[in-house]
Amino acid sequence: MDNKCPMCNHELIAFKNGSSIGVRCSSCDYSVVTSYIEPIFEDKNVYTIILEKGNALSKDSLKTVSGIIGKNYIAAKKCISSAPSILFQGYAADVMDVKKILDTSAMKYSISPKFPY
């Protein structure tokens, strides 16, 4: 990209602000904003979340697992007691949502391949 302002020929400065990136002029009001896509949304790898052994069969863990797999407590109980078992498969952005739930519930799990976020 040309790094001189088309309006006044001063230098353009790159900036990042939340979900926007662009360049703005160091002198006048000229700026170009483009939306920025987080790399996680462009990641087309399919990740697998594996529930590890050693998770307690508590009301909380059943509720968490049940919510993730979208099935009842009986299926959730089976998933926990037969661990390691596949809890979820999906793209990075979806895996991140599940990861957040698992992290707040302090459950033991792993993600394959290595989850870089």
Q: Which residues contact 93 (CB under 8 A, 6 or more apart)?
A: 40, 41, 43
Tell whether residue 30 is a contact of Zn ion (CB under 5 A): yes
Query: Among the candidate windows 22-30, 46-54, 64-72, 79-87, which touches Zn ion by CB under 5 A?
Result: 22-30
Helix intervals (H) in the chain: 39-42, 59-69, 73-81, 92-105
Q: Which of 7, 14, 74, 106 binds Zn ion (CB under 5 A)?
A: 7
Residue 86 binds Zn ion (CB under 5 A) = no
Contact positions toward Zn ion, by CB under 5 A? 5, 7-8, 10, 25, 27-28, 30
